[in-house]
Amino acid sequence: MTKPAPILFPKDFLWGCATSAYQIEGSPLADGAGPSVWHRFSHTPGRVQDGDTADVTCDHYRRWESDVDLMHSLGLNSYRFSIAWGRVLPEGTGRINAAGLDFYERLVDRLLSRGIQPMVTLFHWDLPAALDDRGGWLNRDIAQWFAEYADVMFRRLDDRVNYWTTLNEPWVVADGGYMHGVLAPGHRNIFEAPRAAHHLMMAHGAAVQAYRATGRNKIGLVVNIEPKYAASQSDADCAATRRAEAYMNRQYLEPALLGSYPEELHEVFGEAWPQWPAADLRLIKQPLDYIGVNYYTRAVVRSDPTSWPLKATTVKQKQHTHMETGWEVYPQGLVDTLLWIKDQYGNPPVYITENGACFFDPPQVEGPVLEDPLRVDYLRKHITAVHTAMQRGADIRGYFAWSLFDNFEWAFGFSKRFGIVHMNYETLKRTLKSSAHFYSKVIASNGAAL
Ligand SMILES: OC[C@H]1NNC[C@@H](O)[C@@H]1O
Ligand SMILES: [Ca+2]
Q: Which residues of 92-129 are buried (b: 16+ CB within 10 A; e: fewer)?
A: bbeeebeebbebbeebbebbeeeebbbbbbbbbbbbbb
Q: Identify the nearest ligand to the CA of 293 by its number.
A: 1
Nearest residue by C-alpha to atom 10 in ligand 1: 409
Tell me if 407 sits within 8 A of 24, measured CB to CB: yes
The one catalytic residue among 169, 192, 226, 254: 169
Tell me if 386 sits within 8 A of 49, measured CB to CB: no
Kindly state if the Cβ of 414 falls inside 6 Å of ligand 1: no
Distance CA 414, CA 422 (A): 12
Determine the distance separating the centroid of ligand 2 and the alpha carbon of 216, expressed in angstroms: 6
Determine the distance separating the centroid of ligand 2 and the alpha carbon of 119, expressed in angstroms: 12
Kindly state if the Cβ of 409 falls inside 6 Å of ligand 1: yes
pLDDT given for residue 367 in this prediction: 76
| pLDDT of 148 strictly over 70 | yes
Kindly state if the Cβ of 402 falls inside 6 Å of ligand 1: yes
- When pLDDT is averaged across residues 326-343 and rounded to a whole number, the result is 98
pLDDT given for residue 5 in this prediction: 74
- When pLDDT is averaged across residues 162-175 and rounded to a whole number, the result is 98
Query: What single-letter amino acid sits at 385?
Result: A
The CA-based angle 122-200-227, given to 5 degrees, is: 95
Nearest residue by C-alpha to atom 8 in ligand 1: 20
- When pLDDT is averaged across residues 56-62 and rounded to a whole number, the result is 98
Query: If pLDDT is split at 50, 70 and 90, which confidence band does 308 have?
Result: confident
Determine the distance separating the centroid of ligand 1 and the alpha carbon of 358, expressed in angstroms: 10
In this prediction the ipTM stands at: 0.94
- When pLDDT is averaged across residues 127-135 and rounded to a whole number, the result is 98
Kindly state if the Cβ of 169 falls inside 6 Å of ligand 1: yes
Determine the distance separating the centroid of ligand 1 and the alpha carbon of 279, expressed in angstroms: 32
Nearest to 422 by CA among 371, 377, 383, 373: 371
Q: Identify the nearest ligand to the CA of 112 by its number.
A: 2
Determine the distance separating the centroid of ligand 1 and the alpha carbon of 311, expressed in angstroms: 25
Q: What residues are neighbours of ligand 2 (ion), with CB under 5 Å?
A: 162, 217
pLDDT one-digit tens code per residue, 70-128:
999 999 999 999 999 999 999 999 999 999 999 999 999 999 999 999 999 999 999 99
> Does the active-site annotation cover 91?
no
Nearest to 288 by CA among 230, 351, 244: 351
Q: Which residues pair with 165 in a beta bridge?
A: 121, 220
- Tell which one of 222, 403, 417 to mutate to probe ligand 1, the residue whose CB is within 8 A of the most ligand atoms: 403
DSSP state of 363: S
| pLDDT of 364 strictly over 80 | no
| pLDDT of 181 strictly over 80 | yes
DSSP state of 22: H
Crossing angle of the two packed helices 142-157 and 192-214, in degrees rounded to 10: 30
Nearest to 152 by CA among 70, 199, 96: 96
Measure CA of the first residue to CA of the last residue in the chain; give whole Å. 19
Determine the distance separating the centroid of ligand 1 and the alpha carbon of 295, expressed in angstroms: 10
Tell me if 430 sits within 8 A of 17, measured CB to CB: no
- When pLDDT is averaged across residues 266-278 and rounded to a whole number, the result is 95
Give pTM, 2 decimals. 0.98
pLDDT given for residue 4 in this prediction: 72
Nearest atom, ligand 1, residue 124 CA? 8
The one catalytic residue among 25, 254, 354, 409: 354
Q: Identify the nearest ligand to the CA of 407 by its number.
A: 1
Q: Which residues pair with 15 in a beta bridge?
A: 399
| pLDDT of 1 strictly over 70 | no
| pLDDT of 23 strictly over 80 | yes
- Tell which one of 252, 418, 423 to mutate to probe ligand 1, the residue whose CB is within 8 A of the most ligand atoms: 418
Nearest atom, ligand 1, residue 18 CA? 7
Q: Which residues pair with 313 in a beta bridge?
A: 302
